[in-house]
Amino acid sequence: MLYLRISRSWLFSQTAQRIYFTSSLLVFAFIGTLIGVRMALAASGARSLAGPASSVVRMLLYPEVTGVAVLWIGMWYFWFGFDTSHYLKKAVWFVLLGFLAPFGTVLYYFFVYRHLVEAQSQDA
């Protein structure tokens, strides 16, 4: 089994915070792109995008999917190793992280990760 030696300071560093914030913005862009494309397809009555439109949407989705993946992996790693919440709260977040991605991931980032980072910065 692979054991990654990622310390607490790595997850809470300024660089990690910037990366996770950028990733959360990309998650919102991903959700907006998916909703926008589906609404446009429904309004036009088409079943799929035409060639040029498909290429544009695909190019938009590459960085967004990367942001979704980075945030998802980072928040799962934080949930497994560093979240000290009550076990019932962790159980709720487990369901949200596992079954409502990317919504659960971005909610976990804003309500748990950022809250803990802010609390630690005020203690220091």
Q: Mind listing the pLDDT tens digit for each residue in 27-74? A: 999 999 999 999 999 999 988 888 888 999 999 899 999 999 999 999
Q: What residue ranges do the domains of the chain occupy? A: 11-123
Note the pTM of the prediction, 2 decimals: 0.87
Alpha carbons 123 and 115: distance in angstroms, whole number: 13
